[in-house]
Chains A and B, each alone.
Chain A
Amino acid sequence: MANRPLSPHLQIWRWGPHMLVSILHRVSGDGLAIVGLAVLVWWLGALASGPEAYNAFQTVATSPFGYVVLVGLTWAFFTHMMSGLRHFVLDIGAGYELNANKIWSIASPILAILLTAAFWGFMLSKQGVI
């Protein structure tokens, strides 16, 4: 490992919402990449393998542990999507003014929680859906 100077890390900065949304983006993205894609592969593989395999998937998915994972994944999905959309705006060079940056850093994760709640509210309001 080359002896390059390291940039100051977490503890040296005063916390702000832009740091939280950046960390959430990485955590939710890597969570989706590892856990989310594994669930997607299992879901599609179970479908392709037939009713018995799909039944086994559903049994786990609708257990208390399964719901914790699925709710966590939908939260991670909406969080990553909102902070990702924020990144698109930052990529075109907009949204760097202190106030605008702060507002969207706070709004992204809150919107994500609201979308997660709306999704599950909708799903659970459908009778016998899962």
Chain B
Amino acid sequence: MGSGTSLGKVRGLGSSHAGAHHWLLQRFTAIGNVVLTIWLVTSIMLLPDLGYATVSGWISQPVPATAMILLVICTFWHARLGLQVLIEDYVENSGTKFGVIAALNLAVIGGGAFAIFSVARLALGGAA
């Protein structure tokens, strides 16, 4: 940080101009989460049991499979945005912050891809 004029001290320290987009995406994914997670909780409550045959049979149908894939995308995206804010608030060193956010991206994309693949495998009949 420079020791120049008052203006020089604050120049370049302003907003990144990406905040509104982040904020809106957090809300859009939140709306999706409300719908999809209530669907999941209701489904879990209404299934006759939670054994393998019942759950895998249920999730391999077109509508539950689609809803589950959408739920994975929506919740992972929302979680990615929320954890980013957590990291930005509590990790001060910019190098560490970059590294932790890179790890976050790997985790949510990897976890999300695995979850979507799992649903697709069940729905498309690849599972035993």
Interface residues of A in 37-73 (CB under 8 A from B): 37-38, 40-41, 44-45, 47-51, 54-55, 58
Q: Which residues of B contact A54 (CB under 8 A)?
A: 52, 55-56
What is the bound-complex CA distance between A121 and B93, given in angstroms? 46
A-B contact count (CB 8 A): 89
B65 to chain A, nearest CB (A): 11
Q: With A33-B79, A41-B114 as given contacts, are A47 and B122 in contact (CB-CB < 8 Å)?
A: yes
Contact across chains for B86 and A3 when beta carbons are under 8 A apart: no
The yes or no answer to A84 lying at the interface (CB within 8 A) is yes
Contact across chains for A48 and B118 when beta carbons are under 8 A apart: yes
What is the bound-complex CA distance between A55 and B53, given in angstroms? 11
The yes or no answer to B34 lying at the interface (CB within 8 A) is yes
Chain A to chain B: the 10 pairs with minimum beta-carbon distance, closest first? A33-B79, A48-B118, A44-B118, A50-B128, A54-B52, A48-B121, A51-B52, A44-B115, A41-B115, A29-B82
B5 to chain A, nearest CB (A): 15
